[in-house]
Amino acid sequence: MATPATTRVVTQRQRREPCPRGTKELWPLALTLCAVLGLAAGHPSHRKHHGQTSHLNNHKNHNFDEDHYASFAAYQEPSNKTGTSNGDRKFKAGEEERKYIFDGQRRFKSLEHERHTHADYEESFVNDPLVVRTKSGLIRGVEKQVMGHKVHVFTGIPFAKPPVGMLRFRKPVEIDPWRGVLNATSLPNSCYQERLEYFPGFQGEEMWNPNTNISEDCLYLNLWVPQKMRLRHRRHIHQKAPVLIWIYGGGYMTGTSTLELYDADIVAGVCNVIVASLQYRVGSFGFLYLKPLLPEGIEEAPGNMGLWDQAMAIKWIKDNIAAFGGDPDMLTLFGESAGGSSVNIHLISPVTKGLARRGILQSGTLNMPWSYMEAEKAMQIGKILVDDCNCNSSQLEENPTKVFACMRAVDAKIVSSQQWSSYFGILGYPSAPTIDGEFLPKHPLELMKDQNFEDIELLIGSNRDEGTYFLLYDFLEFFEKDGPSLLQRDKFLDIIHTIFKNFSPLEKEAIIFQYTDWENLGDGYTNQKMIGEIVGDYFFICPSNYFAQVMSDNGAKIYYYYFTQRTSTNLWGEWMGVMHGDEVEYVFGHPLNMSLQYNARERDLSNRIMEAFSKFAMTGKPTGEDVTWPQYTRSNPQYFIFHATTSGLGSGPRLTACQFWNEFLPKLRNVSENISSTTDIKSCCSQEMSLGDCNNTALRVSDSGGRAAPEMGFLLLALFPVLLTSIR
């Protein structure tokens, strides 16, 4: 590199006075000492000297080891060649020579640096237990002491280029390998999203909000590695460790791997497994879908960018985990809510199938109503966002370059805020995995039914009161977070009609019939409880049951748990019960933290859950031989109960309610679709036949067209007035 113009190099030849006796022999030593002292300060310009141009160099949370790298660059092996510094001056030390240039920035650079490659520098870290050589470059972590165990933690490892500028609304691009040591010692940014602020200052809500800077530059992953597993791996004494890869939830609209709740040091230390977590784009940044509206070859808004982020992170882990002592053939994906649904996708999608063979799905499967989106609906939402950002969706076909130049220029805060204008009711999020023909080539149910899953092992779970959390947020005028509410019958009916506004009148009446306590119509507390059960059953528990049955039918090995523990430290009202997400703190071992005031039985429950998850990751079975936990099948739908004081097996869960949602209601839907065009039904109603005779006629029709079963009779009879109204 050329010497800066402000630098004046003075040579011995230009000096008029002679060099003092003895000084000549000390020059090389003095210069070497100055170089070490000066460059050890880690001036950032040394990176340019070694040709480092990666954008990672400037990231404030992910700094290279400048001190070590600079001092290494300053030191040069002796050379037998002769030469001059800046073409003029020679320094000799006996038979050896060193050559330096001194510039105004107090940097020494050897003209012989080509002889000392980057590999020499990297080799200097070979014995550092906290530095790992990956295919992307060297990474330094930190060591933590956890309950008598040492865990090496690596946070903020980049796996993709920041999806900013031209990369906004596009699939992720792999990170370029870096030079130097990446300090993976700080939590990464959280992906851009809106915060939950319904209850300001309430820790029960705040615990789910991002705890690091929100940025579009967010594609990083984290690793927790038991120290003894790494040391054993280095000595090749024991087999490599299984790996659990966490994918966070948040309805594909919020979430971050950096939450204290997801700190995996206890799991890694206690269970001797490697735990990884990853960031992925949420909201429109991760799921904007406009591809069918664009000319061929345009790479913008293909949809499912967040899933591609996840896939790239999983692949990075698979490609590099052996360097940390992990087994790339023993990856288990686990996640909660949208994270569980994501795990489901990666196990069956043609894009990612085979990266992992085991999955743990906590309150999230791909067939849940909120967990996927038809292409047409996704495009409509995308066009609305483009227009709300004043970028004119009508020009998408003719001038997509202009439209996306506009969209990339819109401030991220505006994009993040405007996307919520397409929120369409409880759990009706405007972003979700889209049936795009690639990541999801067809409807999730078809995708599940058309494949053989004999090589897949799954642990699936639900919580007892999945619905109450969402009920509170969408119907704040009817409920209080701190205590129960007396929900009057008319409000009970209003909520059902609001949630299921797109259902037919017959279907809504069936739901009301199924969830009415006919002996206590005026009991407001019962009405509140029933509404919570409706939301939990329809959106979470019953889709999980159905998914487990279908996957089992197609060869997958399924184990099911049902979490029923109301935590003693729970900050939400007692009426909300065992909420969506309540099991996560047990999965990550937080009750074992003595400062958090859990009781002894809860600590034991957390130990049992961590043991089940880690054993599943190791063997594909969540228990040892001493515990009875049978596989879940359609004919034997048995689950294991996770509770602090009771354990054992149950059937279902919520078997009766799920028969209604999974079997009866679809058949009733077929009846309602066929009934208006059926002459026999119209005839029987017009002739004022008896209700029983007319009901039998309806059953005959539905059995031929909708394949209804005879057990529908009791409900069809009860709903006959609605049937009559819909026909007339």
User: Hey, which residues are catalytic here?
Assistant: 337, 466, 580
Specify the 3-state DSSP secondary structure of 611: helix
Specify the 3-state DSSP secondary structure of 561: strand
Q: How far is CA 245 from the centre of its chain?
A: 9
Please name which of 259, 263, 277, 264 lies closest in space to residue 193, comparing C-alpha atoms: 259
Please name which of 465, 461, 469 lies closest in space to residue 363, comparing C-alpha atoms: 461
Which helix (H) or strand (E) element contains residue 672? helix 665-675
CA distance 340 to 548: 13
Sign of CA dihedral 469, 369, 609, 628: positive
Sheet holding 131-133, edge to edge: 131-133, 138-140, 181-183
Please name which of 723, 728, 614 lies closest in space to residue 672, comparing C-alpha atoms: 723
Q: Are 595 and 605 in contact (CB under 8 A)?
A: no
Please name which of 81, 74, 85 lies closest in space to residue 12, comparing C-alpha atoms: 85
**DSSP states of 413-454:** HHHHHHGGGG--STT--S---B--SSSS-S-HHHHHHTS--T
Q: Which amino acid is located at 312 in the chain?
A: M
Q: Are 668 and 674 in contact (CB under 8 A)?
A: no
Q: Which amino acid is located at 244 in the chain?
A: L
Phi and psi of 457, rounded to 5°? -125, 130
Cβ count near 290 (within 10 Å): 25
Outline where 456-541 has alpha helix (H): 468-474, 489-499, 505-514, 524-536
Helix (DSSP H) and strand (DSSP E) numbers for the chain: 27, 20
Cβ count near 497 (within 10 Å): 14
Q: Are 274 and 153 in contact (CB under 8 A)?
A: no
SS3 percent helix, strand, coil of the chain, rounded to 5, is: 40, 15, 45
